[in-house]
Amino acid sequence: MNRKLMQSLCLILLLALCTGCVRQTPPKTTGPTTGTEATTTGEGIPQGDTPPQSYPVPKENRWPMSVMFGGVASTVSDGYFSAAQALKFYDAKTGKTVFLCSQPGCTHTDSTCGAWIGQVNNLVEYGGVVYASVKDGEVCAVVRKDIGSGELTTLASWEDQENIYYECSVGLCAYGQMLIFVRITEFVEDGVNYSQLDTEEQWLYNLTTGEKRKLDWETGKDSVSILVMNQEYAVAQYYRNLEERNPESGLFTKDYELRLYRFADDSYTVISSEKENGYIPTADPAVSYGDIMVLQEKDTLCLYDLEKQEKRELLTAENMINYWILDNKVFYIREEESPEPPAVSIYYADIETGQPVRLENGGNREVMDFAITWEGDSFFVGTWKGGNYIIPKADFYLDNYEAARPGGY
């Protein structure tokens, strides 16, 4: 990337940080709220004519995004990055998407392109740098793409062997560390037939030193997924598939726990469990926001602050069927009692006050009309009218879905 293009991009990023309707950082969480009638019943106050305060995306605990689902928000500008093979940037201010390559006449289709990464599986932006997992031929790798210079560096790689195949993906990034997932498929000969053996490994990679170590927190039927982490600790969702089936769904019963792990010795304490606290996992991937994560215990939504290692109740509402956290707010969906087929209502609550607000939801009582999936500084990305759309946060909160624009990545 030439110097003039870099100067222009830096100017765009600087202006994006200094202008607009977003605040630089969300306030620190406070202690438990006293609660109100709305907090208890979950009814919520109707949305008004003024949108709530919005915030830039957190700089820590950055989640990756599959190329199938679009882009990953930038922490240094109001926009996002995306890549199938070559890196692109969407500028929320102009609404334009450009390849981050300055070469005249470049087709952006091979490794001579300044924006080239490779055959991308997923990617994440952390600290103004893009990290991605790629699979080129028989080698899968985790790479680092410098946005300014265009330099591409391989951090770790695995090469296919006879009857053994590797796939890798980047994971959560926080406080100078990144999770890396490796899936190993081995075809074992058994007489004249082959059987397939699949194993998965989870590695913690130090982005400063390059050191990595394998995390062995699961055995047998156990599964452990890290939801939020810092340099010393990680909160992970643990479950074990039990032998008995749920009589209603026919599915195997799972025994869920939220655990606080200590990286130094892999010890853990239980924060919440299905058996003891009525812990209910969310179906939404947006479970953490910076160092804060949301969880449900029976009819109560709680927040866990990893920095303080404290859990507090936020609000209580009946018949919740999903919840997530974005824009310094907890969103949730309730199934409303009705003599007709069940109807749903959509709510959000600021994580400081716990006061729920009911969204108009385009008048839709069956599903979330504009289903937000991830966010940038000033915008949400989600599904609407059967496609992927980008909408300014203020317009989303005011139910002005017609302001959304399709695509972008």
Q: Enter the pTM of the model.
A: 0.85
If you count them, how many residues does the chain have?
409
CATH C-level class of 3-24+35-406: mainly beta
Read off the pLDDT of residues 52-82 as tens digits, 9 standing for 90 and up: 999 999 999 999 998 876 799 999 999 999 9
Amino acid at the residue 201: E
For range 291-313, the mean pLDDT: 97
Residue with tokens 């859990």: 311
Tell me what pLDDT residue 20 has: 35
Does position 267 have pLDDT exceeding 70, yes or no? Answer: yes
Share of the chain above pLDDT 70, in %: 84
Strands (E), 85-192: 87-91, 96-99, 120-126, 129-136, 139-145, 152-159, 164-174, 177-190
Read off the pLDDT of residues 93-133 as tens digits, 9 standing for 90 and up: 999 999 999 999 999 999 999 999 999 999 999 999 999 99
Does position 406 have pLDDT exceeding 80, yes or no? Answer: yes
Lowest mean per-residue pLDDT among 61-75, 240-254, 336-350, 368-382: 240-254
CA distance 384 to 390: 9
Which pLDDT band, with edges at 50, 70 and 90, does 44 fall under? confident
Residue with the bigger pLDDT between 69 and 349: it is 349
For range 304-322, the mean pLDDT: 96
Extract the tokens encoding 92.
């929320």
Please state the domain extents for the chain: 3-24+35-406
Lowest mean per-residue pLDDT among 173-182, 252-261, 287-296: 252-261
Contact (Cβ atoms closer than 8 angstroms) between residue 58 and residue 174 = no
Contact (Cβ atoms closer than 8 angstroms) between residue 35 and residue 349 = no
Beta bridge partners of 205: 178, 212
CA distance 227 to 64: 12
Read off the pLDDT of residues 222-235 as tens digits, 9 standing for 90 and up: 889 999 999 999 99
CA distance 99 to 108: 8
Tell me what pLDDT residue 10 has: 38
